[in-house]
Structure 1
Amino acid sequence: AEGICNITMDSNSITMPMSDPNAWATAMNNLGMPPMGMTGQQLMPDFDPNLGMMAGITPLNPMMPGLSMVPAPVSQDVPVVKEIIHCKSCTLFPPNPNLPPPATRERPPGCKTVFVGGLPENATEQLIMEVFGQCGDITAIRKSKKNFCHIRFAEEFTVDKALFLSGYRVRLGSSTDKKDTGRLHVDFAQARDDLYEWECRQRMLAREERHRRKMEEDRLRPPSPPPIVHYSEHECSQLGDKIKDDSKFPEAVRVLFTWLERGEVNRRNANNFYSMIQSSNGHIRRLTSEKSQHEKEMEEAKDKFKSALAGIVAQCESHCTRLYNTAYTVYTVNI
């Protein structure tokens, strides 16, 4: 970014005399470029690119990116160049760009804690907070007596910023003492406190998903039938009336079957159940006889319909035959 800024500043500071546009146009023509001014206007309206000294080359636009006026865009494939990082009490020197990047473990799910090794022996928690606090909010630091520590961040994405510092060489102040220098090794932590929090969150999300699915299933499930009351003298008398009613007979039979399945029959109410069963049986016999009568009437109606239809067809055929004979006779007479 600094190099791009420098290029832009140097380009803006260049002043070229434009008192003789012909000389400028001749120089650009020899390079195969269309003669254009610094502001983009065309100096020679009748420019022919084939007259240049570099014939066969597509004319270039001096205002395109990569030429002096506009800096070239930065490619996304270019590797990130690590630079020196100056902190308040230490300095971080980048690793050799020719060396391979430091190896890291496989990223565990929900990781917010990093392992930092290679710290200087004289490093303090304040120094660690100063260096890694630039990556994001730190919630806890566990420093060992040896040259490593564990840093837990508040957000998961800040771990990637901390991994960027892996391979940097740390120097405390301007000291050259070996205890004041070290090479950082940043990696995903194995023993993590946030693993339990991540598992709790996953279980909570799973519970919410199960609850959501259950609510959706309950919404799509057909409504349950109304509950059937238990046997009593009052309900028994009402059920006897419902059995005699054709519109309420199916519901009454279902209640009677439920009472029998529950085992609510005993010696005291056996007569009541017997009378209800007899009444149901009589009702079913009546319905069966009515069904037979209706089927018989249906068959008679079908026979009548068939006979009537056969008579209509016979009459239609006779009328058609008579009409045909009459028409044929008239035609013969006219001939």
Structure 2
Amino acid sequence: MASPLRCLPRPALRAARSCRAPLAAHSFSHLGPLLSSTPAAHPQPPSQDLKGGNRPASVPLGTAKRLPEFNLEGKVVLVSGAARGLGLVQAEALLEAGATVYALDRLEKPSPDFERVRTRAASELGTSLTYSRIDVREVEALNAIVQEIADKHQRLDGLVAAAGIQQETPALEYTAADCDKILGVNVTGVFMTAQAAAKQMIRFGNGGSIVLIASMSGTIANRGLICPAYNASKGAVLQLGRNLASEWGQYGIRVNTISPGYIVTAMVEDLFVTYPERKTEWPKQNMLGRLSQPQEYRGAAAFLISDASSFMTGSDLRMDGGHAAW
């Protein structure tokens, strides 16, 4: 389509082009009151040279001066399944954004990397990471721990429910007990964790953000990966997120889900030893032609827990390299 400017007579065309530069550089600060409904909550940064000439080098992202909507300082966030893997990676991202983080997991001891993150939180980030051992199926104990944390801080602002288990078994061989175990952790456990957090958010009246870790497997059937109960459980998490969002929006609580694609974790590396063909075949099944790393989901957790996603609820953030978009 031709530019509208080309339809002008030559003199008018030259005049219009001569006005372009001043117009592009014009300040629209007079629209500020119209564009920002809560200026006090989201202070605007001072005028800065676009090339960074007078930008304070010491001011990090996620502060009052740079991307303040990502700032989680003073916020208290729970992360279930955070003893290792994806949960721990997301917990570290929340710590970097300033949050006080509590990791919940059923492991007797967290992974060796957990201590590194906890030490970094205290010595470098000015916040804290605390571990509590709990199986999300132990509902009474789970509620007691979550209430104790909320009582200590007189608030609860966020939850990332990343606890989950997997079992690869053909559908004709699945036992009822194994199916109940998968659904008990991945659906009921996630539901009860979200419920425990929401009760405290409502009690203190500050609202909050809940993020449930689903999977692309809740949307598609994985080619060559026989896990009917797991996929069903992740489909349930997607629907659970939408329903919780519809009920709890009145309390200022947002509920969203993240659907990761294949992630290269220690457990997946062990799986590749047993099934070496998957290491070469799985990357071919998405549009980027590779598998993801846990670190690639850091920003998703910070985005959904923070005010950067303040008008987002009942949604799924699918991050699968385009696997489900074919």
Alignment TM-score, normalising by the size of structure 2? 0.20
